[in-house]
Amino acid sequence: MNPASYPGNMGELEFVEAYARSAVRKPQMAADAALGRLVFAEAGDRAILAGLIGQELAEACRRLVAVWGALSDRRYAVARSLLRPLPGAADWRVFIQQAATFTPEQTIRELSLDGDALEWARALRAQPDLDELTGLVAAAETGNPMLLIPGLDRRQVPDQCWLAGIDAGGESVASSFGAGESDATTLADITADLCGIARGFLMSYVDARRTAGRRP
């Protein structure tokens, strides 16, 4: 693809770095901002903010799978692969199976990365219960997921949020998670972890390209 094919007329490597530093990091920044505001919000608003963090976590999952797919399949330019629509639940299931079975060393070989990416591969392997996030990914995979909070009024403190949507098969799907401050903190921490791993993998690729030229 020529440079004009990438957003903002960026070059290929410039686009990949911008993607790593902004598109991949955005869910983490948004989740952190929502968490910071949640502490001082009223009960109903806290539940909505927790729900927003859940939505950002769904995007973080999908961005990580997009990065994994772009780096593991080098038949296409990494930048070109990152322009594709975000992966959905089916790709997420394949990814978490690989993440659970690959050693960190196997992961960097799968992604054709150098040893400096090993810390991120170890961080990925250390992530617990990624399969529990599948419902969030499925609810968001076709776009416009709905945040639903039963009993949302000032007389009742919500204890649960639902992210609802239509999956790739056209079926209605909803994923629930806690609406409390501790639940929101956990979701934000996972979001930060997944964003950091995806960014670390991509920047390892960018750094290698800049120091050693284009990979075959």
Residue 122 domain-assigned? yes
Residue 150 domain-assigned? no
* H-state helical runs in the chain: 12-18, 26-38, 43-72, 78-82, 89-101, 104-110, 118-125, 134-140, 181-212
Report pLDDT digits (tens) over 172-193. Answer: 999 999 999 999 999 999 999 9
Residue 161 domain-assigned? no
Report pLDDT digits (tens) over 120-171. Answer: 999 999 999 999 999 999 999 999 899 999 877 766 678 899 999 999 999 9
The pLDDT score that the predictor gives to residue 153 is: 72
Report pLDDT digits (tens) over 48-87. Answer: 999 999 999 999 999 999 999 999 999 999 999 999 999 9
Residue 172 domain-assigned? no
Q: Residue 4 pLDDT > 60, yes or no?
A: no
Residue 143 domain-assigned? no
Q: Residue 213 pLDDT > 80, yes or no?
A: no
The pLDDT score that the predictor gives to residue 107 is: 98
CA 64 to chain centre: 5
Domain count, the chain: 1
The pLDDT score that the predictor gives to residue 216 is: 41
Residue 191 domain-assigned? yes
Residue 138 domain-assigned? no
- Domain boundaries, position 53: 3-130+181-212
Residue 43 domain-assigned? yes
**DSSP code per residue over 143-156:** S--EEE-TT-BTTB
CA 45 to chain centre: 24
